Structure 1
Amino acid sequence: MLLVVALVVLLVAVGGAAIWMRAHGNGAGGQGVAISTGPEPAPPPSNTPEPYEDDLNEPDPRESDSPPPEEDEDRPGTEGPTETVQRYYDAINSADFTTAWELGGKNFGASYSDYVFGFAETARDAVSVTDVQDDTVYVDITAYQTDGTRYEYTGTYTVSDGVIVEADIERTS
């Protein structure tokens, strides 16, 4: 159990360092650094045609009269309540607790570390949406534990702008 907590802390630290480095020019005072791990790749042979050289009569896909694509459905606020709940459980099942936290775990009254610790004995969760009414998603959940036992839950999640803002979940077995 301590190993799981240590792993989560390590993953959060590495992710934070990567974000900081990206925001601060790879850690070189905004100048950027080129790192080489081997010899430079050889240039392509001179007889290699340029991309699309044979397609000169094809229209340029960048020049289009079609409207821009719809908003990205992976961003919070652009998906339906059912998809938000499903993404929440997908994140939990892949141990992506940062994403699960942002999708609503932060609204359940626990600290982040307590929230993550709450899944220490859970191998995976299976969620079944039984009904949706406006922003309320009705679910049945089976939580499979690492020791082979399982627990059944039922209840609702309320979703607003792609984030779970309230949960009323009760254990049934």
Structure 2
Amino acid sequence: MNQWDPDGQRWVRSAPGGGSGQAPPDSDRARVLIVVAMVVLLVAVASAAIWMRAHDNGAEGQNPALTAGPEPTPPPSDTSYGVTEPYGNDLNEPDPPESDSPPPEVDEDRPEIEGPTETVQRYYDAINSADFATAWELGGKNLGTSYSTYVSGFEETARDAVSVTDAQDDTVYVDITAYQTDGARHAYTGTYTVLDGVIVGADIERTS
């Protein structure tokens, strides 16, 4: 086995069974220092691992309301009542919403409802044009006679000249000069009552 030489300077190999076999004191001290260093290293590693785990757990347990950053500013309201324009117009009311519905179509071919005076004038225009069917529809049918009798009543009339002297509501005041085919003239005066563009009554008197 190995042992110290007599001078205590180096190890020497001796024959088996020779010497005491005890290590010098410096060897034991070195082993103790190595073990202590390993223990300190293990403790440091374990402490570092514990600290890192505690740090991670602390980050995960933070309140998200504190770490999410500032809350976003809500958008401004569209309602701007009471705002004054530069020129002094107060916007106290919101603009009405635009309608998606198209404007109503106007039937340009639809005849407008004419007034009573125009109805009487058209009635005599139809008579002077010998358009007795139109005159009949414009009110001749409401004068208390048949269509044939109504038409025959104008056989000796060459032309009728009508003059509207007044009009009050549905009543039209007229003077009529009837020019006959033989050259004679007859004068009439009276009123016509008109409703919804149709003559519904007449009160006519012959004056000459």
Normalised by the shorter chain, which TM-score bucket? Answer: 0.5 to 0.7
Aligned to 2:171: 136
The C-alpha deviation readout for 1:93-135, integer Å capped at 9, x for no partner, is: 0000000000000011111000000000000100000000000
Q: Deviations over 1:124-157 (max 9, x none)?
A: 1000000000000000000000000000000000
How far apart, CA to CA, are the structure 2 residues paired with 1:146 and 1:162? 30
TM-score, scaled to structure 1: 0.58
**Structure 2 counterpart of 1:136, which letter?**
T
In the alignment, does 2:126 pair up with 1:91? yes
- Cα deviation for residue 72 of structure 1 reads 1.2
Write out the 4+ residue segments of structure 1 that deviate beyond 2 Å after TM superposition.
none
The answer for the alignment partner of 2:68 in structure 1 is: none
Backbone CA RMSD of aligned residues: 1.7
Alignment deviations for residues 26-59 of structure 1 (CA, whole Å, 9 cap, x no partner): xxxxxxxxxxxxxxxxxxxxxxxxxxxxxxxxxx
Partner-residue secondary structure (3-state), 1:120: coil
Report the Cα distance in structure 1 between the residues aligned to 2:155 and 2:202, rounded to whole angstroms.
20
Residue 68 (structure 1) shift: 1.8
Given residue 145 of structure 2, which amino acid in structure 1 is its aligned partner?
A
Amino acid at match of 1:79: E
Secondary structure at the aligned position of 1:147 is classed as coil
Quick check: 1:68 aligned with 2:106?
Answer: yes
Of 164, 169, 172 in structure 1, the residue corresponding to residue 199 of structure 2 is 164
How many aligned positions are there?
Answer: 106
Larger of the two Rg values belongs to structure? 2
Question: 2 CA distance for matches of 1:117 and 1:92?
Answer: 12
Structure 1 unmatched ranges of 5 or more: 1-64
Once residues 155 and 183 of structure 2 are traced to their aligned partners in structure 1, the CA distance between those partners, rounded to angstroms, is: 14
TM-score, normalised to structure 2, is 0.49
Kindly state the Cα deviation for residue 66 of structure 1 after the two structures are TM-superposed: 9.1
The partner residue of 2:183 within 108, 131, 148 is: 148
